[in-house]
Structure 1
């Protein structure tokens, strides 16, 4: 297959070891400023994914992220933040990484080269054709991701792929390709940098827009967030106070009685 591996092209900057700290940081930031514009170019594709997800979530479907290395960790990060932020069960957005949980902290040798493991990992969660699989791979060539996508499609599962190499195997394999061209990395080939940043932005957009679409947000407030510490109880109390026009003490009592901002506001309305 012929396509340009943009993630492997030489950096726009050279002689990095000769730069002082200030110069290095300014040059890195110069490259980072290109990332948001690259993500903006693929918003129509992200929108298609969010629409597909919202339709399936209303029927009880789930979102699976699959990836290796940095990409896998970013998927797990996004999935792990859904329950505390939106009060959804951990089982609705699931992040899977080549090499399993060990690979979250440490590299697992050759794990990403296994073409069949991703589907095995998804099968442990009893994946169905009502779910959605999003493969994340800067290169667009990771076997763990490509194998998982191929198996998902065989079973009628909607698939999407986030990659930084337009025209890559991942982009061609999925139903909804999200091809974010951020250009060469500041440090040649180091996709934990701009590529990873672009993936984080896209994942933020996907999950946040989805949660809003399925009713987990009211106005601009996280009304279903878990009240797992004093900071969040305080935030929730202020949301209830503002939403109902009552004082802080009354709002706090109502929040603690009903257990969520949404339930407290509904009860007090």
Structure 2
């Protein structure tokens, strides 16, 4: 029988299903991992109300000019850095709109610096050094107890910033110090305490929801098309052409011609095609609506409707 210690967080407890893990075959190990991973999405679904509240806070902060800071240690910190680094090219936003901070600094992205998470004052300094009024800070820690993250969130609170906490246990110290707590209790890992597994997957899912929802709400997506994608390599340039085709119904030759005229900006090319306007008019309209593509479409629809 697997014994559980009362003072352990659930993510640190032993998983009864994997008590004989080292005796399993390769097929049995990967099957068990897959079965456990299938429980993660269900756990995340239970936190949808909390995630929605946090996502609304992110949208509000960004709409008013604020930036988002993820802060965590170890796997949690790396996941924050990953999401922050992927958002600018995906959604065509300024590089400093999404930021990832990790205990131990940039070196910790590639190499484990395990004791860095215990430095609460370092977390305080990390936020104090970069935050400004209107920003929002998302603390990430599977256990919900990392002092580095707790310190960072307390400093963010002191500065009057909106705070979100993502943890994988219930009633965590992190949840107690943030305005928008998100708890995704995934249960014990198949390798005891290895929160890079289910907990890491859950955290990544939540981060996907927060950042993607914010960008969709801010008009960086049209339908389900990444109209703001930055065409910085061959693959993305070809994707831009396909996006123009999908959004307008144009053939490939036309989409490519307009894409070139718009210098790779799918939004401009789409507006030019949809409304038969000049590149300058399309660009000016986007500026007028603060680069919210859906609002640019509505504005041109209204202007052309009133002039007909």
Q: TM-score range by the shorter chain?
A: over 0.9
CA–CA distance in 1 between the matches of 2:260 and 2:157? 45
Deviation at 1:3, TM superposition (A): 7.1
**TM-score (norm: length of structure 2):** 0.84
CA–CA distance in 2 between the matches of 1:38 and 1:245? 40
Partner of 1:150: 154
Q: CA RMSD in A?
A: 1.4
Tell me which moved more, 144-153 or 3-12: 3-12
Quick check: 2:165–2:174 contact (8 Å CA) kept in 1? yes
Pairing of 1:33-112 with structure 2 (within 5 A): 33-112=38-117
Aligned residues: 267
Partner of 2:21: 16
RCO higher in structure (CA 8 A, sep ≥6): 1
Is residue 2:245 matched to residue 1:229? no
Is residue 2:224 matched to residue 1:220? yes
CA–CA distance in 1 between the matches of 2:172 and 2:196? 18
Is residue 2:121 matched to residue 1:121? no
- Say which of 180, 184, 187 aligns to 2:188: 184
CA deviations over 1:49-81 (Å, ceiling 9, x no partner): 111111111111111100000000000000001
CA–CA distance in 2 between the matches of 1:29 and 1:200? 17
Tell me which moved more, 30-39 or 113-122: 113-122
- Say which of 237, 252, 256 aligns to 1:252: 256
Tell me which moved more, 225-234 or 98-107: 225-234
Instruction: Determine helix, strand or coil for the equivalent of 2:99.
Output: strand
Structure number having the greater helix percentage = 2
Instruction: Determine helix, strand or coil for the equivalent of 2:96.
Output: coil
CA–CA distance in 2 between the matches of 1:220 and 1:180? 27
- The structure-2 alpha-carbon separation of the partners of 1:267 and 1:110, relative to structure 1 and needing over 3 Å to count, comes to same
Which structure has the bigger radius of gyration?
A: 2
**TM-score (norm: length of structure 1):** 0.96
